[in-house]
Amino acid sequence: MLHNVKVLSFTHFLQGPSAVQFLADMGADVIKIESPKGAYERHWSGVNAFLNEESVFYLLAGRNQRSLSLDIRTDEGKEIVYNMIRDTDVIVENFRPGVMERLGFGYEDVLKINPSIIYASFSGFGSTGPYRDRPGQDLLLQAMSGLASLNGRKDQPPTLVGSAIIDQHAAVLGALGIVGALFERQITGNGKKVESNLLNAALDLQIEPFNYYLNGFNLYDRSESGISSRFHQAPYGIFETQNGYICLSLTPTVKLASVFDDEKFLEWTKNDQFEKREEINARTVQHLKKNTTEYWYELFKANEIWCSFVNDYEQVESDPQVEWNKCILSFDHPTAGKVRLLSHPVQYNGETLELRKSPPKLGEHTEEILKDLGYDQETIKEYSQKGFIRTINNMSSKNANHSK
């Protein structure tokens, strides 16, 4: 789909790498430019997850890309990047605002070399404004954007979501913006600057409750028991059963009266499901605790009540629909060994996109890319010896010397 689209990726952490991985999955030639020491995500991973010293945090957003390792602060490094920009379609960067300008690769600098470039900048708060220089990080934005205040029960502190959902949503929005800009350029021939930031992405995730608020409607207090949002009617959320938990969603009281054999539910109107949420919740909980999760699940399903088990990852992994959708990608990595990761989340003509390239080793394609740019072997060897670039060969020699 994006074959013949060339992307230079100056990205690190999660937001930027995830965005370019979407483009790479769709066929773009993504070249990850990183220092001779390697990007941050090569050296850190959540729960200290490393497979034979390969960071899973790097592997999860590094597939279908090439790695060019060079010091872009040097004159030689800058020259290489400038040579590449001339026939590049897209630049993606998520340094702090101002860093690319100081390096000489800001939007205005790049336009002078390639006026049709699509230049995508990802940041915490945007490239301008009062928070421009604040550190942008998923956890901080969950707190600052109001997202945390939606979660948790009334007697608990605001509750954070246990995953970097804002990073990932900002990555999707950024990739969407890039694809839109590429489509427009086919028509007009003009490039564009695309910006995605965590603050905007965090607010977009709250498109429903925040828009209620903006139009003068107050959200309900957080629930004392079970309701997982501050704007839905009861029962709506996760409830305790005799032996575990079950999730209920958007259930009419008439159906509850039937499955619970309790006429009290018939006294409550649709409006009461909003206004008397805690009363309905409490009575729902009383019934659910009388029997097991499995019992209620089968009864609810038979009565067309929206419900779900509350799964842990082991159950998710073996779920038949997860398997059917091919949500998990397995492949052999030359160093990490057997790797299992989430696959590209969109299907095309009923098919999931396949892996074309394993996440590359640091500098794996440096020599290949420089030769394509016209650099001869002697120059590449000289740059490698001086430390301007890093290649697989000089990495191997360093490792060999170290082992001696």
Rounded average pLDDT over 227-246:
93
| pLDDT score for 227 | 78
What domains are there in the chain, each with its CATH number?
A: 6-205+324-403 (3.40.50.10540), 237-310 (3.30.1540)
pLDDT greater than 50 at residue 288: yes
Q: Parallel, antiparallel, or unpaired: how do β-strands 389-390 and 65-70 relate?
A: antiparallel
**67: enclosing H helix or E strand:** strand 65-70
Encode burial over 12-36: b for 16+ CB neighbours within 10 A, e otherwise. bbbbbbbbbbbbbbbebbbbbbbbb
Mean pLDDT of 38-46: 97
Q: Give the model's confidence band at 397: pLDDT under 50 very low, under 70 low, under 90 confident, else very high.
A: very low
Question: What's the average model confidence in pLDDT over 233-240?
Answer: 94
| Structural tokens at position 305 | 């009540």
**pLDDT grade for 395, boundaries at 50, 70 and 90:** low
Of 319, 317, 323, 342, the C-alpha closest to 331 is 342
Q: What is the pLDDT of residue 157?
A: 92
Average pLDDT of the segment spanning 162-167: 97
Amino acid at 208: E
Amino acid at 199: L
Q: Which helix (H) or strand (E) holds 178?
A: helix 165-188
Q: Is the pLDDT score of 11 beyond 70?
A: yes
Could you give phi then psi for residue 109, rounded to 5 degrees? -65, -45
State the helix-helix crossing angle for 165-188 and 198-205, rounded to 10 degrees. Answer: 110
Give the Cα-Cα-Cα angle 81, 87, 92 (nearest 5 degrees). Answer: 60
Q: Is the pLDDT of residue 240 over 90?
A: yes
169 to 35, 75, 154, 198, 352: CA distances (angstroms): 27, 36, 27, 8, 20
Work out the average pLDDT over 174-189.
98
* Sole residue written with tokens 């404004």: 129
pLDDT of residue 225: 76
| Least confident interval from 168-182, 263-277, 319-333, 384-398 | 384-398
C-alpha 336/C-alpha 310 separation (Å) is 32
Mean pLDDT computed over 78-91: 97
Chain Cα centroid distance, residue 63: 14
Q: Is the pLDDT of residue 299 over 50?
A: yes
CB neighbour list of residue 102: distance below 8 Å, 6 or more residues apart:
none
pTM, to two decimals: 0.93
For residue 180, give the amino acid letter: G
Alpha helices in 276-334 (DSSP H): 277-288, 293-302, 313-317, 320-324
Q: CB within 8 A of 90, min separation 6: which ones?
A: 5, 6, 7, 8, 23, 28, 117, 118, 119, 120, 178, 182
pLDDT of residue 198: 98
CB 153 within 8 A of CB 239: no
Q: Rounded mean pLDDT of the chain?
A: 95
Is a pLDDT exceeding 80 seen at residue 286?
A: yes
Quote the tokens at residue 50: 């490393």
Q: For position 394, what pLDDT does the model report?
A: 61
Tokens 């600098």 belong to residue: 109
Taking alpha carbons only, the member of 187, 195, 136 closest to residue 166 is 136
pLDDT, tens only, 325-363:
999 999 999 999 999 999 999 999 999 999 999 999 999
Convert the pLDDT of each residue in 85-139 to its tens digit.
999 999 999 999 999 999 999 999 999 999 999 999 999 999 999 999 999 999 9
pLDDT for res 233 = 94
Using alpha carbons, select from 363, 366, 361 the residue that is nearest to residue 63.
361
At residue 228 the predicted structure's pLDDT band, cuts being 50, 70 and 90, is confident
Which amino acid, 365? H
Q: What is the mean pLDDT of residues 371-397?
A: 87
pLDDT above 80 (res 194): yes
Q: Is the pLDDT of residue 402 over 60?
A: no
Q: What is the predicted pLDDT for the residue at 404?
A: 36
Residue from 101, 129, 138, 107 nearest 15 by CA: 138
Phi, psi of 240 (to 5 degrees): -80, 140
Q: Which of 67, 70, 57, 62 is nearest to 25 (CA)?
A: 62
- The pLDDT of residue 401: 40
